[in-house]
Amino acid sequence: MSRAADRRAHLNLQIDLLAEQEITKLLQLELLICERLGVEAPLGDREIRDMSRQTAVGELAGELEKEDV
């Protein structure tokens, strides 16, 4: 049963990473549209720009591995 749970967890991780990439791209497109239209980005410029940066998945994985040790 553990093997099936591990596979499910891995699949969930892959789906979450894909969703993260897609949402980040949507935020980047939203910022571009706002800039072209001369409209202030929602949620304040800094917050939305922070959320629109690519997530360093490798760094996060490394940090998680350190915590598990």
Write down the pTM of the prediction: 0.69
What's the mean pLDDT when you consider all of the chain? Answer: 84
Structure tokens at 69: 């040790």
Cβ atoms of 30 and 41 within 8 Å: the answer is: yes
Q: Say what the pLDDT of residue 26 is.
A: 92
Return all residues near 52 (Cβ < 8 A) that are at least 6 apart. 24, 27, 28, 30, 31
pLDDT-derived band at 39 (thresholds 50, 70, 90) equals: confident
- Domain assignment of residue 11, given as a range: 2-68
Specify the number of domains making up the chain.
Answer: 1
2 φ, ψ (degrees, to nearest 5): -65, -35
pLDDT at 52 over 90: no
pLDDT at 64 over 80: no
